[in-house]
Structure 1
Amino acid sequence: MNSFLPQHEGWLPSWLLLVSVISVGNTIQAYITTKNTREVYMRTGQEITAFTSRVFGTWTFVSAIVRLYAAYNISNPQIYELALVVYAIAWFHFFSEWLVFGTAAWGRGLAGPILISTGSLVWMLSQWGFYVE
């Protein structure tokens, strides 16, 4: 099993792998049902359709692939930067939907993406010098 895990020091590569795997699961859920997407965007009056759920799932899958590449190529500055940008876009999206556009409400569905994107951004920014030479 260890041969499948990222072979870099520290916990960040494993974290990126874990978030990637979870994101693939979220993608599958978004294609099967709108339930989880509704938990994020649960303001009344906002319609979540099967189409919007699949669009969200597609974005989640693209993000998962970028994070997966970063987990295994964490010392590559371009891939590290790309993963940072993906987290920054996710962070901006979730915060703006919550605080600017009002389409998301704080709750179980929004807490996970906010905490993961914020924590991952801070962690990656603070570890740049450790992983990228």
Structure 2
Amino acid sequence: MDAILPYLPQHAGFLPKWMLFTSIVAIGNSVQSFATLYYTRRIYNIDPARPKALPATPSAPVPHSPLVTPLSARTFGTWTFIAALVRLFASYNIDNPAFYALALCTYAVAFAHFASEWLIFGTAEWGSPLAGPIVVSTSTITWMLMQKEFYVAA
């Protein structure tokens, strides 16, 4: 563990390390969006012709979904990778007001996207695939708003 400490954000508090963690997870999500449609289809799984949810394991066959195409998955992966880069840079520069604001915006955009797909467009349904991004985005937005004065000098 001591070997990785110099590479972690050096600012006080846990928020920069959390943002680094969410960046790494987002990079992983980006890679999987390019590699397979399975996980993206678990979130956007509403198909009027096939209303049941997808199987819980990637080894099970994934039904065709007109909502998730290879292009849409790659676009989603690219968007997620850009958000991950912003969060990554912000985790190491959390005292910079511009980085802080940009990172906060990435979580807000993620929340708006997932919430609107669920509540407005109806292309996602509540469940564990959707709960993760909703919980992470809302809790991080709240955390960042509450801790802004601690990290960013006015």
TM-score relative to the length of structure 1: 0.97
What's the CA shift for 1:107?
A: 1.1
Give the number of aligned pairs. Answer: 133
Q: Is the 8 A contact 1:13 1:74 kept in 2?
A: yes
For 2:8, the equivalent position in structure 1 comes to: 5
What's the CA shift for 1:108?
A: 1.5
For 2:70, the equivalent position in structure 1 comes to: 50
* Partner SS for 1:31: helix
2:134 matched to 1:131?
no
2:108 matched to 1:88?
yes
2:57 matched to 1:37?
no
What's the CA shift for 1:36?
A: 0.6
Q: Is the 8 A contact 1:39 1:108 kept in 2?
A: no
Moved more, 39-48 or 113-122: 39-48
* Partner SS for 1:83: helix
Letter in 2 for 1:119: S
% identical aligned pairs = 51
Unmatched segments (≥5 aa) in structure 2: 49-64
Q: Which runs of 4+ in 1 moved over 6 A?
A: none
TM-score relative to the length of structure 2: 0.84
What's the CA shift for 1:64?
A: 0.2
Unmatched segments (≥5 aa) in structure 1: none
What's the CA shift for 1:42?
A: 1.0
2:26 matched to 1:23?
yes
* Partner SS for 1:127: helix
Structure with greater proportional helix content: 1
From 88, 92, 104, the counterpart of 1:68: 88
What's the CA shift for 1:60?
A: 0.5
Higher-Rg structure is: 2
